[in-house]
Structure 1
């Protein structure tokens, strides 16, 4: 595009001179620029330096206030949550419940049993214990011996206690004897050890993938560093703000929510950077000064980026209505990450790019007065194909999405405790031995707490409950008494679930509460189902209203919302096809449907916003439905593809973590983003908009902008 006022004979010279001047002089110092142009970028960078200096003091403290105890994930109103809180108030507080498992293939020897007695006595001397001492139990075949030990919370963190106990047992182990430490406390300790290694691995992996994709996208040795550095600033700021929210509002932050926030910042922040830089590059070809080009770029993409961020924040804040602690806490943590990404990408990134000038794009410097066709020809051809056969394209893409969604029927059931990790730690190995050695009963107690004055009656009710193999009265404190009930059914089976339900009914008259590890999983699954029924409509309503405000339409937002629901269903369907048959997972985290819906709808609708906002601009300018669709695809297709690949790649990083829950969530969201990027946003939505024509923008109607007739 030529600058106004140039003559045909002077175009080439003017273009070259402008390009050379812009490339050789710092942005904002060219002819005719005001003092504000020189000062504003530096002022913005100075402000962010102050923010970074302050946030750097507090960002590192976030790890010290994270909580990953069972109670931090449990439903707030569930019986198992109340049991966990009551146990904290009892004598000795909460306990790290361990089961020492001694196993020898040929049968335990007298030396083995002596070692078990000696080690148990040493542990009880070294650590404060709580509750009534449980007697060791031997399997019928004489191969396995179990010794329950409940270590008081005053002994230290579960992961530290479990590691120390394992070291003690390994130091005094007879040859040929297998000694494993299992039980709920060991599983919790193993989980905490895994989570402790997540932050560094996740940050390095995510940054590496984003850097690689940016290098491939920009084909520049320098440009990729700018958005990556700005994303890092946003991440540090978000960590500091979340730490402040923990201190001021008592916000519960877990390693899961912190990990997801990191992925969100890198994924969404990079997407915003890709959109802004693509528009800035185009404006540099039309406008000689980088400062003015950036202003035009911000005006062009600002509404779309703001609405995009607002939809994600609104969707995440809808999680505040959830009763599950892990879901409810994730809402504000993720929202802070998105807000920090938005702030950094719309202030710090433009300031840095303006100061660096055109040279930051080297070697593909966008010369003033030229036009770029890189990558646009492909999407122009796709757009032409779609508008030429809209019925066939819409039918084919709808059938494809619907067929994938059928895989939902193949999703596995709820995730069992033994299936939580991708590679089995020692606690899982111990549980496997227990299941084999004691098939006739569970070795995992169900905890019942009752008012102390009703303890005797409640104990009789518990012992008489069908499905309970044995029961024992434990510690008391704070007006409550513990009763440990051992079910006949194995953990995580329908029989155990029925026993827990019967125990709750049997002890209700005595004001009893039933908790424990198995009860926690039951409560989590039921609450996740309830949360999904409440939060999903809230997210849909919030996203629809924001889209309607941006697009000034009711039909276009409905089209995008329905498309994203289809993407979510298809992504879960793909999960059903690969979780069990391909990856060998035996269960699914009950919170996956809700969390994947929030992220896929809130994040995926970004690309719909970018596409439809450009389509609306063209329609307002007088382009017909077919022309506006082709132009929108041509101008946004490349950047949407790049953004989709980056966002999918960042969520795929979650699949590298050793937790099945994180792998499943990362894969479902990544696959959904790719499906949305290359099928729904490229074919389905444009085809539907073409068929709807001007009705896409109903109830608004656009009057074509007719250029004024030049004076004779």
Structure 2
């Protein structure tokens, strides 16, 4: 099949390029707009309590404040002193001025003695904004925050009072420029890294620029295809993952192009003309690229099984990007390179010469001689790192992961120093009855909630128009996004509310902290479902590629071990060395995506080369040595580039992106240099012919006889 594809593309390169460009233009021009969300609760299934509470609130309080995001204007004295009566009066006038300004999207601006801290150091002006996280609402809310700041600054000028606005949208405004600069820096670092490394490998600016040009085009097409599919299946995407998708395209796209260029150079060195060399390259590498892409796409698609729909939408988005890149790598790229021929490596002439025996020959020979020692040593490295995964703790505090030198971050610290942290995102308890509620029973229930551990304030109950639902706002002493608050709401507080609900009623706990508690539960469920299904699908793809059952088993075990080792290494750095309380809750799924899925690429490329060497008539140990010698440089180069593109994320001031960048980078390096280059070849050498059971994937091709007594220090052939 891939020989047929290679011949078709190479013999008709201009038709291939033209067809690709026309299809790309049509898709990009007519693509609908991508639908994105940022609200984590919007991605939860309806069966979870926080979502049920939110839905009840919308029905029971159609004009209530359950749809309001509470942004806080935190006011204090510039000299750090206590707020006088005159100061408090000035703060009240400021609240009225904000309200009177009629700023679009500002639903209310108010202050009261209840928003004054007990130590009189801080007083709040609560500003209500719509809590929708769609792109349009978010932009209007961010504009409103800017106007609120302008009005407040004007009102407090010369008063001796200082202020800062804290909250979700205030944080978005403060981090917008930082995020844009970071994204630009990451993009620049990624491009520079790819160009620099490919220049070192091939010593050719043309080869270095080829992946960049192709991937820029592919990213536009992938976004267009994603938009069409998103509209067709009513999918919403989390815009927090946009940076990751760009990095994935650069990383995996460069990998596939490198797989092809390495093999193309190899065939040219063997004396084939430029067209024959490319046809052979597509035929030999096409199956490995297809299997690798298939494994990645399968792993991504499995995310549709996630109950947390942010990942359910991310999976198809990534799968589409990889599928477009895969098609491009086996059509557009071979067509372009077949036209360029040897010029793709210009001005270097190094492609003509077989390099002298170097590091990869030594590594291959060492593995071939002592596969058992290699397998044990590399396995112990992975197991030792994997042990760290047992200490993993999830963190849901997005604001703590943002830069701490912004106005919103400083205002949040001032608020938390003098007032209950939960003011920024109160927990809501709803009491639902079949008819009008007994208000005395609700009041008693309210008093019970006030005595609960971790509760700072409890507001008087609000009743629905038909009196059948009561809403009790509870302010926690803890940071509402902290692990302590989530554990409290998930366990003791919910249990207390459920057990002490007035007779004949049902109590439900909602709010952002409750939503994070549900996300915690759904994440655990998703990991327990997604990873086994993905492993099964990857195993099936490997079995089809290798026509064997034994090799896929230890390959899958190796990838799972690599995934766990990656998580353990990340935990060791951020929780152990840096002393962070936990890692962002999305991290295990993200590492699953890129280490379990993309790490399989390198195993596939290596095992395919081991099989190829066996078919040339080499015994298992010699096949391992030669496989490492020839596939090792490709895997290493691809791994370094892919790891480097993700490592660029560590430049981000957002801790989530920094954790993802480090975690995926170390996972890719482990996959390339430990699993694929050492562990898999050594196990395959030890297993020998049994690795290919029940098939005969390693059977020598007709005419290929086992070479006689090959010494391990001999480089006997160039291909």
| Shared fold, TM over 0.5 | yes
User: CA–CA distance in 2 between the matches of 1:382 and 1:583?
Assistant: 35
Range with bigger deviation, 281-290 or 488-497: 488-497
* Aligned mate of 2:25, from 53, 73, 77: 53
Corresponding residue for residue 415 of structure 2: 434
Corresponding residue for residue 510 of structure 2: 515
TM-superposed CA distance for 1:450, in Å, is 5.1
Q: Any idea what SS the aligned residue of 2:163 has?
A: strand
Corresponding residue for residue 296 of structure 2: 312
TM-superposed CA distance for 1:482, in Å, is 4.1
CA offsets 1:209-256 (integer angstroms, 9 cap, x no match): 322222222211222112221111111101111122232222111223
TM-superposed CA distance for 1:598, in Å, is 2.7
TM-superposed CA distance for 1:411, in Å, is 3.6
Corresponding residue for residue 708 of structure 2: none
User: CA–CA distance in 2 between the matches of 1:476 and 1:213?
Assistant: 64
- In the alignment, structure 1 residue 231 sits paired with structure 2 residue 226: no
TM-superposed CA distance for 1:71, in Å, is 3.2
Q: CA 1:161 to 1:459, structure 2 compared with 1: closer, same or farther past 3 Å?
A: farther
Q: CA 1:52 to 1:547, structure 2 compared with 1: closer, same or farther past 3 Å?
A: same
- In the alignment, structure 1 residue 373 sits paired with structure 2 residue 355: yes
Following superposition of structure 1 onto structure 2, how do residues 522-601 of structure 1 map, counting pairs within 5 Å? 522-583=517-578, 585-601=580-596
Task: Provide structure 2 residue ranges, at least 5 long, that are not aligned to the other structure.
Answer: 1-6, 706-719
Range with bigger deviation, 420-429 or 126-135: 126-135
* Aligned mate of 1:359, from 324, 339, 343: 343
Corresponding residue for residue 3 of structure 2: none
- What is the root-mean-square deviation of aligned Cα atoms in Å? 3.1
Corresponding residue for residue 464 of structure 1: 448
- In the alignment, structure 1 residue 163 sits paired with structure 2 residue 146: yes
Corresponding residue for residue 308 of structure 2: 324
* Aligned mate of 2:68, from 92, 95, 114: 95
CA offsets 1:192-212 (integer angstroms, 9 cap, x no match): 776666655544443333222
* Aligned mate of 1:499, from 477, 482, 493: 493
Q: CA 1:197 to 1:328, structure 2 compared with 1: closer, same or farther past 3 Å?
A: farther
Following superposition of structure 1 onto structure 2, how do residues 180-579 of structure 1 map, counting pairs within 5 Å? 180-184=164-168, 186-187=170-171, 200-365=184-349, 372-373=354-355, 377-423=358-404, 425-438=406-419, 444-449=425-430, 453=435, 456=439, 460-465=444-449, 466-467=451-452, 468=455, 469-474=457-462, 482-487=471-476, 491=480, 492=482, 493=484, 494-495=487-488, 497=490, 498-507=492-501, 510-579=505-574
* Aligned mate of 1:707, from 698, 703, 706: 703
Q: Any idea what SS the aligned residue of 1:429 has?
A: helix
TM-superposed CA distance for 1:77, in Å, is 3.6
Corresponding residue for residue 16 of structure 2: 44
- The answer on whether the counterparts of 1:462 and 1:507 sit within 8 Å (CA) in structure 2 is no
TM-superposed CA distance for 1:489, in Å, is 5.0
Q: Any idea what SS the aligned residue of 1:623 has?
A: coil
Range with bigger deviation, 84-93 or 270-279: 84-93
Q: Any idea what SS the aligned residue of 2:164 has?
A: strand
Range with bigger deviation, 50-59 or 656-665: 50-59
- The answer on whether the counterparts of 1:75 and 1:81 sit within 8 Å (CA) in structure 2 is yes
Q: CA 1:649 to 1:708, structure 2 compared with 1: closer, same or farther past 3 Å?
A: closer
Corresponding residue for residue 694 of structure 1: 689
TM-score using structure 1 length: 0.86
Range with bigger deviation, 608-617 or 658-667: 658-667
Q: Any idea what SS the aligned residue of 1:579 has?
A: helix
- The answer on whether the counterparts of 1:380 and 1:630 sit within 8 Å (CA) in structure 2 is yes
Range with bigger deviation, 619-628 or 188-197: 188-197
Q: Any idea what SS the aligned residue of 2:474 has?
A: strand
Range with bigger deviation, 490-499 or 658-667: 490-499
- The answer on whether the counterparts of 1:270 and 1:643 sit within 8 Å (CA) in structure 2 is yes
User: CA–CA distance in 2 between the matches of 1:568 and 1:102?
Assistant: 47
Corresponding residue for residue 109 of structure 1: 84
Q: Any idea what SS the aligned residue of 2:98 has?
A: helix
- The answer on whether the counterparts of 1:572 and 1:593 sit within 8 Å (CA) in structure 2 is yes
Range with bigger deviation, 340-349 or 693-702: 693-702
- In the alignment, structure 1 residue 121 sits paired with structure 2 residue 103: no
Q: CA 1:549 to 1:673, structure 2 compared with 1: closer, same or farther past 3 Å?
A: same
User: CA–CA distance in 1 between the matches of 2:14 and 2:110?
Assistant: 68
- The answer on whether the counterparts of 1:414 and 1:525 sit within 8 Å (CA) in structure 2 is no
- In the alignment, structure 1 residue 609 sits paired with structure 2 residue 592: no
Q: Any idea what SS the aligned residue of 1:150 has?
A: strand
- In the alignment, structure 1 residue 149 sits paired with structure 2 residue 133: no
Following superposition of structure 1 onto structure 2, how do residues 672-683 of structure 1 map, counting pairs within 5 Å? 672-683=667-678
CA offsets 1:2-56 (integer angstroms, 9 cap, x no match): xxxxxxxxxxxxxxxxxxxxxxxxxxxxxxxxx9888711011111221332244
Q: CA 1:121 to 1:372, structure 2 compared with 1: closer, same or farther past 3 Å?
A: same
Q: Any idea what SS the aligned residue of 1:577 has?
A: helix
TM-superposed CA distance for 1:392, in Å, is 1.8
User: CA–CA distance in 2 between the matches of 1:38 and 1:383?
Assistant: 34
TM-superposed CA distance for 1:147, in Å, is 3.0
- The answer on whether the counterparts of 1:132 and 1:474 sit within 8 Å (CA) in structure 2 is no
TM-superposed CA distance for 1:388, in Å, is 1.2
Q: CA 1:704 to 1:360, structure 2 compared with 1: closer, same or farther past 3 Å?
A: closer
Task: Provide structure 1 residue ranges, at least 5 long, that are not aligned to the other structure.
Answer: 1-34
Q: CA 1:152 to 1:316, structure 2 compared with 1: closer, same or farther past 3 Å?
A: closer
Range with bigger deviation, 320-329 or 428-437: 428-437
TM-superposed CA distance for 1:639, in Å, is 0.7
- The answer on whether the counterparts of 1:536 and 1:594 sit within 8 Å (CA) in structure 2 is no
* Aligned mate of 1:172, from 152, 155, 158: 155
TM-superposed CA distance for 1:94, in Å, is 2.4
- The answer on whether the counterparts of 1:131 and 1:474 sit within 8 Å (CA) in structure 2 is no
TM-superposed CA distance for 1:694, in Å, is 1.3
